[in-house]
């Protein structure tokens, strides 16, 4: 980007005009001073040593972004792998969306609103990371987004390891603006459906009236659809990888009887035989092979619906030419509904185990229907696998949150200092509520007693006892005070020597807890969470900007942060820039960064969760041998073959993790090196290399590695070999004569604690090209290119005590992302495109991936020529008309050439439903 382009997008000076008594020329020069994200010092030359990308309000409009998440998705440096509300049904932080620069996670990217922090979400991502839910920020009042692609802990403190995203709202607004947006896919109206409406109103002018007040209210709705609705649009290759998308379930209405005849049954021909047959009353269309089937995909969401309402207000009042007071208020109310498969019984004699924090391991076995039960036609207890479809809409996970932020401040100029101070509060309260899981006591009683009538419509009150409302709630709160000032302290050959200094005080608290019925161990299969903590934090910083000559300038910053009573951090940063010529500048930075341990990581309590689908190193080989022998037997043995394999190679078990008050901050060393080139006035080019090394990362040991090193780690607790294990072993011996037995019992639980364990290193290049051409009568043409090229990404193997392989070019980490964005304007008309490119990757995520590797593809019968993910290019088009006074009409056609998703030939990937999507918007200003 050129100097002029950067200046146009830089953050306006926070101070009032202290030179009102000077000449108009001097005042104009003073007004050109701005603050650029990454520094607290105002400047006129806005091309700093740190690379900063700016997305203007006009660019946001033209890209057709309806939300902040959609804006940030257009950053090539954004890895787009952060938590998203689209996938929140199985998340500890459902209903929220984060952002991750450089693939370093949501806790390494600092999100600011007008240069100050935003409340963390009420839930912690992964029960560990506090992060900003960008869905809570309205998009229509954004003036620009400044993205600092450099470490900035020396300026902003914790979390700014990978970079900073500073969302800057309009400084003032006068009049009324209303806007409406409608969007949907052209493949099917329910795909990609979004609606948005906003109104912004304000009065007063700072320049003319000495004040301005405005408010924005925005409503956003995203349409949802079920897995069954999406099925006709899924490509054949996806169904081949995920054949269960066409499968039905034997957990049905009125269900299927399961179990075994007693070995001493009165009819010797039936003694010991498996029972697997439909219960009476199954609809003919659902009967197949003697069983009753149910389409559980019809009730689960492929895309959850979302409703959001946001408010932002701003007020400014000039006390004098040198002093101004201001206030900001933000509020958001958000809800995502995640419809999941209707719950079912699964009577197989195998207990469901789970870990409840504070109560230990819990266990529940689905009850059989006792003799004499109205639905039991046998003279012995029998299982009934059944789907509780009385009220399908009852079984959904509702993720809801409310978020707020309010502050008042005063700024001015006294004794040569431009200063700014503010005090404020912020917070978020999030809830997750659902009826999906069983109350172990009420459910058991309703089934065994016959109160629940299988195959009939039961009272909702009964269902709500059997499947009570449960979930979790979380609250984050912060109060803060900050003050900062900047002034000239001398004169150097290249300009004024300037200093900025400031201090912050914050108090924050966090708690996240499961509902009482979960903590009491009543909810079957659902682990409990109970985390809380609070702390006081203080920080002080200083920054100096020294233009030693007209060509050479240095910027240095130092900041100290400390949570009272805990470890602190002091981090420096230095930036240098050198103008070789008037149109060519070299620049570079070196910085240290840090992330303070979060309250979930250091607080009180603990959490537990379930690990699913793991291969148990002490049982899997035996399980495979058992499976292969049982698969040669009769129909019942073939069922047992699946059970044997699952008991060793696809096991589930709980983990319990506890906070650690002795954690150190995560640390990082980073540097950038690049240049800015403007060969002619119409072209500006920036190229920057970045390198980040993060250490002392807070995590728990990897579960797979714990299992592989079980004897040395001593973290795994096991149960004895089970009676079911012995039964399978006896049958294997009957079939083969071989005595094959499990040498170890199933995993009971794994105990973990947060530790400073890991490291990550990343490096890459960022390229930016911007051109502006005046075509005279033909209008104006702008062409831009943003490109990120990742060179290296390596994490840390805690057991090998070494870096892993380079994961760039592997699944999920493409080497190159680029966006080419030409635009043309003439006489109120505008048109343009965005060409989006992502390079291809291997199908495997790493060397240890046995599914996506070439050998894994061969084992699965996948053509080696298709054993990769191809590069992906899409084209978005837009057109805009502003020829009518005060009105703007716009159309966006996303994926204009209808390019389908690249093939990803491994199971379990997201639904490839991409097609053309049309968005229409209209705005009118009064």
Tens digit of pLDDT for each residue in 487-533? 999 999 999 999 999 999 999 999 999 999 999 999 998 888 899 99
Residue that wins the pLDDT comparison between 363 and 570:
570
pLDDT tens for 807-853 read: 999 999 999 999 999 999 999 999 999 999 999 999 999 888 889 99
Which sequence spans correspond to the domains of the chain? 3-224+304-340+398-436+469-596+665-700+755-808, 254-292+345-385+437-468
Give CA–CA dist 632/793, Å, rounded: 47
Cβ neighbors of 901 (< 8 A, separation 6 or more) are: 235, 872, 912, 913, 914
Contact 725, 732 (CB under 8 A): no
Residues 6+ apart with CB under 8 A from 829: 779, 879, 880, 881, 882, 883
In terms of Cα–Cα distance, which of 550, 510, 517 is closest to 531? 510
Show the tokens assigned to 322. Answer: 């040198």
Burial class (CB in 10 A: 0-12, 13-18, 19+), 828: exposed
**Cα separations in angstroms, 387 against 89, 337, 347, 438:** 20, 21, 12, 13
Burial of 749 (0-12, 13-18, 19+ CB in 10 A): buried
Phi, psi of 271 (to 5 degrees): -55, 125
Q: What's the maximum distance between 2 C-alpha atoms anywhere in the chain?
A: 110
Strand 747-753 to 651-658 pairing: parallel
Higher local confidence (pLDDT), 615 or 45: 615
pLDDT at 24 over 60: no
Per-residue pLDDT, averaged over 319-327, amounts to 96
Each residue's pLDDT tens digit, 257-284? 999 999 999 999 999 899 999 999 999 9
Which of 40-49, 187-196, 335-344, 486-495 comes out lowest in average pLDDT? Answer: 40-49
In angstroms, the CA 648 to CA 639 distance is 15
Query: How far, in Å, are 67, 348, 622, 650 from residue 646 at the CA level?
Result: 43, 13, 11, 5
DSSP of 562-616: EETTS-EEEEEEEEEEEEEETTEEEEEEEEEEEEPPPHHHHSEEEEEEEEEEE--
What tokens were used for 887?
Answer: 């009105």
- Report CA-CA distances (Å) from 119 to 335, 363, 406, 616, 684: 17, 39, 10, 41, 37
Residues 257, 277 contacting (CB under 8 angstroms) = yes
For residues 576 and 99, give the distance between their C-alpha atoms in angstroms, rounded to a whole number.
29
Q: Is the pLDDT of residue 13 over 50?
A: no
**Residue 525 has what pLDDT?**
87
Residue linked to tokens 């490509």:
235
Are 594 and 667 within 8 A, CB to CB? yes
Spatial distance between the Cα atoms of 60 and 65, rounded to a whole number of angstroms: 6
The CA-CA-CA angle for residues 143, 146, 149, to 5°, reads 170
Question: Tokens 């409310």, residue?
Answer: 402
Q: How large a percentage of the chain has pLDDT more than 90? A: 80
- DSSP code of residue 902: P
* 876 contacts 893 by C-beta, under 8 angstroms: yes
The model's pLDDT over 41-70, given as tens digits with 9 standing for 90+, comes to 877 666 789 999 999 999 999 999 999 999
How far apart, in whole angstroms, are the C-alpha atoms of residue 92 and residue 89? 9
Residue with tokens 């209405």: 253
Task: Give the pLDDT of residue 12.
Answer: 40
Contact call for residues 35 and 139 (beta carbons, < 8 A) = no
Phi, psi of 729 (to 5 degrees): -65, -40
- Number of Cβ within 10 Å of residue 275's Cβ equals 15
Peptide bond preceding 254 in cis form (omega within 30 of 0): yes
The CB density around residue 458, as the number of other CB atoms within 10 Å, is 17
**667-702 tens-digit pLDDT:** 999 999 999 999 999 999 999 999 999 999 999 988
Mean pLDDT across 591-607? 92
Give the gyration radius of the chain's Cα atoms. Answer: 31
Percentage of the chain beyond pLDDT 70 is 96
Distances (CA, A) of 372 to 270, 444, 458: 20, 16, 20
Strands (DSSP E) contained in 522-565 are 529-546, 552-563
Q: Residue 406: count other Cβ atoms within 10 Å of its Cβ.
A: 15
Place of tokens 């009939």: 456
How many CB atoms neighbour CB 159 within 10 A? Answer: 27
Residue 18 has pLDDT above 60, yes or no: no
The confidence score (pLDDT) of residue 756 equals 94
Per-residue pLDDT tens over the stretch 706-753: 898 888 778 898 989 998 999 999 999 999 999 999 999 999 889 899
Please, are residues 234 and 245 in contact by the beta-carbon 8 Å criterion?
yes
837 alpha carbon, distance to own chain's centre: 22
| Residue where the block lists tokens 């629940």 | 452
Strand-strand pairing, 868-869 and 841-842? antiparallel
**What ranges make up the beta strands (E) of 624-774?**
651-658, 666-677, 683-699, 716-718, 747-753, 755-774
The Cα 581–Cα 60 span in angstroms is 33
Which H or E element spans position 889? strand 887-894
pLDDT at residue 4 above 60?
no
pLDDT at 32 over 60: no
Q: Which two tokens stand for residue 411?
A: 């700024």
SS3 886: coil
Sign of CA dihedral 160, 165, 166, 167: negative
Distance separating alpha carbons of residues 38 and 574, to the nearest angstrom: 12
Strand order in 11-12's β-sheet? 11-12, 34-35, 42-43
Q: For residue 480, count other CB atoms closer than 10 A to its CB.
A: 18
Residue 495: CA atoms inside 13 Å, Cβ hemisphere, count?
A: 16
Cα of 450 vs its chain's centroid, Å: 44
**Cβ–Cβ < 8 Å for 130, 570:** no
Give the whole-angstrom CA distance, residue 161 versus residue 794. Answer: 16
Return the sign of the alpha-carbon dihedral for residues 462, 465, 466, 468: positive
Residue 681: how many other CB atoms lie within 10 Å: 10
CA distance 892 to 137: 23
What mean pLDDT, rounded, does the chain reach? 92
Helix and strand numbers (H, E) in the chain are 17, 46
What is residue 594's predicted lDDT score, i.e. its pLDDT?
95
Q: Looking at the domain covering 3-224+304-340+398-436+469-596+665-700+755-808, what would its CATH class be?
A: mainly beta
For helices 723-736 and 620-630, give the axis angle rounded to 10 degrees. Answer: 50
């Amino acid at each position: 980007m050129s100097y002029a382009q950067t200046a146009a997008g830089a953050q306006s000076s926070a101070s009032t005009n202290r030179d009102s008594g000077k000449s108009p020329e001097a005042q104009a020069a003073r007004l050109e001073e701005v603050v650029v994200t990454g520094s607290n010092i105002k400047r006129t030359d806005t091309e700093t040593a740190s690379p900063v990308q700016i997305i203007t309000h006009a660019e946001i409009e033209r890209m057709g972004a309806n939300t902040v998440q959609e804006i940030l998705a257009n950053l090539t440096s954004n890895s787009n792998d952060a938590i998203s509300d689209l996938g929140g049904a199985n998340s500890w932080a459902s209903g929220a969306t984060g952002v991750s620069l450089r693939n370093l996670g949501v806790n390494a990217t600092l999100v600011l609103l007008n240069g100050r922090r935003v409340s963390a979400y009420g839930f912690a991502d992964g029960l560990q990371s506090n992060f900003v839910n960008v869905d809570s920020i309205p998009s229509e009042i954004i003036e620009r987004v400044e993205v600092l692609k450099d470490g900035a802990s020396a300026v902003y403190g914790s979390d700014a390891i990978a970079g900073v995203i500073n969302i800057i709202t309009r400084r003032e607004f006068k009049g009324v603006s209303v806007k409406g947006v409608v969007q949907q896919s052209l493949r099917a109206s329910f795909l990609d459906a979004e609606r948005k409406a906003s109104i912004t109103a304000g009065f007063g002018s700072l320049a003319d009236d000495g004040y301005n007040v405005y408010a924005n209210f925005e409503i956003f709705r995203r349409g949802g659809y079920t897995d069954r609705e999406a099925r006709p649009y899924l490509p054949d290759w996806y169904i081949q990888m995920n054949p269960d998308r066409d499968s039905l379930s034997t957990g049905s209405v009125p269900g299927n009887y399961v179990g075994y005849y007693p070995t001493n049954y009165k009819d010797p021909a039936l003694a010991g035989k498996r029972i697997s047959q439909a219960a009476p009353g199954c609809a003919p269309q659902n009967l197949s092979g003697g069983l009753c089937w149910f389409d559980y995909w019809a009730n689960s969401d492929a895309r959850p619906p979302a409703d959001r309402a946001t408010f932002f207000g701003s007020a400014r009042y000039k006390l004098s030419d040198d002093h101004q007071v201001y206030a900001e208020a933000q509020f958001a109310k958000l809800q995502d509904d995640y419809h999941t498969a209707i719950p079912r019984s699964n009577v197989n004699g195998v207990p469901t185990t789970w870990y409840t924090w504070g109560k230990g391991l819990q266990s529940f076995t689905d009850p059989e229907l006792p003799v004499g039960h109205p639905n039991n036609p046998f003279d012995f207890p029998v299982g009934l696998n059944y789907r509780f479809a009385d009220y399908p809409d009852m079984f959904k996970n509702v993720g809801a949150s409310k978020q707020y932020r309010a502050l008042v401040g005063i700024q001015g100029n006294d004794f040569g200092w431009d200063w700014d101070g503010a005090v404020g509060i912020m917070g978020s309260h999030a809830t997750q509520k659902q009826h999906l899981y069983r109350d172990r006591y009420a459910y058991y009683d309703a089934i065994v007693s016959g109160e629940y009538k299988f195959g009939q419509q039961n009272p909702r009150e009964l269902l709500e006892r059997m499947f009570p409302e449960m979930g979790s709630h979380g609250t984050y709160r912060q109060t803060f005070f900050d003050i900062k000032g900047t002034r000239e302290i001398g004169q150097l050959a290249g300009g004024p020597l300037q200093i900025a200094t400031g201090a912050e005080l914050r108090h924050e608290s966090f708690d996240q807890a499961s509902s009482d019925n979960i903590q009491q161990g009543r909810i079957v299969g659902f682990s409990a969470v109970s985390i809380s903590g609070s702390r006081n934090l203080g920080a002080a910083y200083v920054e100096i900007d020294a233009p030693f000559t007209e060509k050479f300038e240095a910027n240095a910053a130092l900041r100290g942060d400390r949570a009272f009573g805990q470890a602190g951090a002091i981090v420096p940063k230095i930036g240098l820039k050198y103008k070789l010529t008037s149109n060519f500048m070299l620049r570079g930075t070196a910085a240290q960064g840090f992330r303070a341990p979060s309250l979930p990581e250091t607080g009180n309590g603990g959490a537990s969760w379930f690990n699913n689908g793991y291969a148990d190193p002490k049982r899997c080989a035996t399980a495979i041998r058992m499976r292969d022998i049982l698969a040669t037997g009769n129909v019942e043995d073939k069922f047992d073959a699946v059970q044997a394999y699952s008991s060793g190679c696809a096991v589930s078990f709980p983990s319990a993790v506890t906070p650690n008050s002795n954690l150190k901050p995560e640390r990082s060393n980073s540097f950038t090196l690049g240049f800015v080139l403007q060969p002619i006035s119409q072209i500006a080019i920036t190229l920057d290399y970045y390198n980040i090394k993060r250490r002392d990362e807070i995590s728990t040991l990897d579960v797979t590695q714990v299992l592989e090193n079980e004897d040395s780690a001593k973290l795994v607790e096991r149960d004895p070999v089970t009676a079911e294990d012995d039964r399978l072993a006896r049958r294997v011996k009957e079939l083969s004569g071989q005595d094959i037995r499990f040498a170890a019992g199933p995993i009971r639980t794994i105990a973990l604690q947060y530790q400073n364990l890991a490291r990550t290193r990343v490096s890459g290049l960022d390229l930016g090209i911007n051109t502006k051409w005046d075509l005279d009568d033909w209008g104006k043409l702008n062409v831009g290119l943003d490109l990120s090229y990742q060179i290296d990404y390596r994490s840390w193997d805690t057991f090998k005590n070494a870096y892993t392989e380079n994961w760039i070019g592997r699944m999920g980490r493409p080497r190159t992302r680029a966006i080419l964005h030409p635009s043309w304007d003439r006489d109120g008309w505008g048109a343009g495109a965005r060409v989006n490119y992502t390079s291809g990757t291997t199908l495997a995520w790493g060397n240890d991936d046995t599914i996506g590797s070439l050998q894994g593809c061969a084992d699965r019968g996948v053509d080696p020529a298709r054993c990769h993910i191809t590069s992906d290019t899409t084209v978005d088009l837009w057109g805009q008309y502003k020829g009518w006074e005060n009105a703007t009409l716009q159309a966006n056609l996303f994926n204009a050439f209808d390019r389908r998703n690249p093939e990803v030939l491994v199971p379990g990937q997201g639904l490839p439903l991409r097609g053309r999507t049309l968005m229409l918007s209209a705005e009118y200003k009064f």
